[in-house]
């Protein structure tokens, strides 16, 4: 399988994991064209509480592990759950509470990245 397909599959699984627990404001940042980057992609989203932030991180981990048997290389931030970072080496996921996301504003810090905002169906049946 080529690199693009690997990225596509992992990104799709991460996004699905976020959507499964109603994570919001999903942004994929492609950093591959930036020199001295630490990873190839950031996936950023937010939740409304520390409980939801933890649920999003758990959902991502379950979804990725179920389909690929991959586990994050490193996870941090689960204690306070204001900002959970999940490092899948080439893809780093940032799950924020809204206020924390606004404060750190990674999108501005990495303004040279290529951004894709994921539109989710928030309709409740």
Calculate the dihedral angle through the C-alpha atoms of 98, 104, 107, 109, rounding to the nearest 10 degrees.
180
The structure's pTM equals 0.90
Q: How far apart, in whole angstroms, are the C-alpha atoms of residue 29 and residue 106?
A: 10
Place of tokens 């894709």: 116
pLDDT tens string, the chain, 125 residues long: the values are 445 567 889 999 999 999 999 999 999 999 999 998 999 999 999 999 999 999 999 999 999 999 998 899 999 999 999 999 999 999 999 999 999 999 999 999 999 999 999 986 544 33
């Amino acid at each position: 399988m080529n690199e693009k397909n690997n990225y596509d599959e992992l990104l799709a699984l991460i996004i699905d994991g976020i959507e499964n627990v109603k994570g919001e404001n999903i942004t994929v940042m492609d950093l591959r064209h930036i020199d001295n980057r630490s990873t190839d992609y950031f996936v950023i989203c937010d939740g409304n509480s520390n409980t939801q932030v933890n649920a999003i991180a758990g959902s991502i981990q379950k979804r990725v592990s179920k389909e690929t048997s991959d586990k994050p290389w490193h996870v941090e931030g689960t204690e306070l759950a204001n900002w959970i970072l999940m490092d899948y080496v080439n893809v780093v996921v940032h799950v924020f509470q809204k206020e924390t996301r606004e404060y750190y504003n990674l999108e501005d810090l990495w303004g040279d990245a290529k951004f894709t905002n994921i539109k989710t169906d928030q309709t409740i049946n």
